[in-house]
Amino acid sequence: MCGPAGQRIGPGGHALWATSVAAFLLAGAMAGESKVTGSENRAQWMAEGSYGIMAHYLVTPRGDSPEEKTADLNRIINGFDLDGFMAQFLATGADWFIFTIGQNTGYYNSPNEVLDARLPGHTPRRDLVLEMGRRLHEAGKRFILYLPVETTTPPAEVREAFAWNPADQTEFFRRYLAFIRVYSLRMGALCDGWWFDGWYPSVTRGKWDPAPWCEAARAGNPHSAVAISNAAFCIGTLPPVTPLQDYHGGEVHLLEDGRIRLDFLSGDVYTTPDGKLRKRGQEPRFYMPDSQFIDGVQWHALVPVDSTFNPAVPTMHYSDGMLFKFVKDCKAVRGGVTLNLPIDQRGHFPGESIAQMRRLHEAL
């Protein structure tokens, strides 16, 4: 996720440097009217469903030694209350769930032999991701997995294990795509999609090919819908990263009056007397979809609710009226909407957040 000046958001809302945004782009049409010729719309179910929920479940184990941290990782993952999570999730009426395998802590929520062989102790014994996928599918829901495309912010030993090297990423691609492929093959049809974060210009330098990423993600399920995010709407970028992706990453930092704010907020941000966030010297810009597709890709927005992706934007609890209007307006053009909610170490959402999601489902 993107923070001030393109920073990544870590556990607890701390900003971690990833990239700087040189310009806000509004290139291309506001929305395309057709799919990529001959391509399968793997994300059609987003257009037909209600909405989705995401949670950033990021583990930072404690300990004075690698062994103590691994033990704490296993304690935390073993303590995830999957029954309680499922009860809350099903109460929302959401049709899909996006879950982080990991992000920038250097620890992951599911075992993986590619990383385990080079850096033991950074994945747990319990396969929480596989268990969650089974439970969601048993309930008739869809499951999307999240991973960043880079390892710029995890600890040095993780960067070394994946061979992260900005000067030559050949070996990184080989190892990291194998890492993704392991998850895809294990999950098979239990994985309905992927959301890849961090495809920033400062990372890819305009040279990365998205095709191998899509291929690795679909190794276990050719119908898996893939999104690749370059921060998207929150920095004013409308076109998708590539026509090879199935749905838009659609990262949003802020809604205002039921519309997406396109202007990136950082630095001298203040609140107006009527409660609007503004940046001095910068006019707010707004956007809403007018089609199911944007440059041939399924339109989708990812919006933090009772949470934030940007330290310059406080945790936002939107009124029912504003949030429901936004979702309904997106659904009116067959767009997809995912709402990111906070989650605790036990896998529980705040009761107030779940209550609002239940009211949203009833309103839809």
Q: What is the pLDDT of residue 28?
A: 34
Decide: 123 and 115 in contact? Cβ < 8 Å. Answer: yes
Summarised one tens digit per residue, pLDDT across range 202-245 is 999 999 999 999 999 999 999 999 999 999 999 999 999 999 99
Q: What is the 3-state secondary structure (H, E, C) of the chain?
A: CECHHHCEECHHHCEECCCCCCCCCCCCCCCCCCCCCCCCCCCHHHHHCCCEEEECCCCCCCCCCHHHHHHHHHHHHHCCCHHHHHHHHHHHCCCEEEEECCCCCCCCCCCCHHHHHHCCCCCCCCCHHHHHHHHHHHCCCEEEEEEECCCCCCCHHHHHHCCCCCCCCHHHHHHHHHHHHHHHHHHHHHCCEEEEECCCHHHHCCCCCCHHHHHHHCCCCCCCEEEECCCHHHHCCCCCCCCCCCECCCECCCEECCEEECCCCCCCEEECCCCCEEECCECCCEECCCCCEECCEECEEEEECCCCCCCCCCCCCCCHHHHHHHHHHHHHCCCEEEEECCCCCCCCCCHHHHHHHHHHHHHC
Q: Name 149's Cβ contacts closer than 8 Å, sequence gap at least 6.
A: 176, 196, 197, 198, 199, 203, 208, 213, 228
Cα distances from 349 to residues 65, 265, 305, 352, 362, in angstroms, run 31, 27, 12, 8, 19
Residue with token string 């000067």: 167
CA 284 to each of CA 113, 255, 326: distance values in angstroms, whole numbers, following the listed order: 47, 11, 18
pLDDT, position 220: 98
Average pLDDT over residues 314-323: 96
CB atoms < 10 A from the CB of 254, how many? 26
Q: Any idea how long the chain is?
A: 364
Q: What average pLDDT does the structure give for the chain? A: 91
Q: At residue 93, does pLDDT exceed 70?
A: yes
pLDDT confidence band for 193 (50 / 70 / 90): very high
* Whole-prediction pTM: 0.90
Q: Residue 183: pLDDT above 90? A: yes
Q: What is the pLDDT of residue 40?
A: 81
Q: Judge whether 103 and 58 are in contact, CB under 8 Å.
A: yes
Dist. CA 301–CA 289, nearest whole Å: 10
N- to C-terminal Cα distance for the chain? 28
Nearest alpha-carbon partner for 48 in 222, 360, 292: 292
- Of 23-27, 141-145, 210-214, 245-249, which gets the smallest average pLDDT? 23-27
Domain boundaries, the chain: 4-363
Of the ranges 2-16, 88-102, 168-182, 284-298, which one carries the lowest mean pLDDT score?
A: 2-16
Q: Using alpha carbons only, how large is the chain's radius of gyration in Å?
A: 19
With CA atoms as reference, report the closest residue to 56 among 189, 184, 197: 197
Average pLDDT of span 66-85: 98
CATH superfamily of the 4-363 domain:
Glycosidases (3.20.20.80)
Give pLDDT, residue 2: 53
Residue 63: pLDDT above 60? Answer: yes
CA angle 158/160/162 to nearest 5° reads: 75
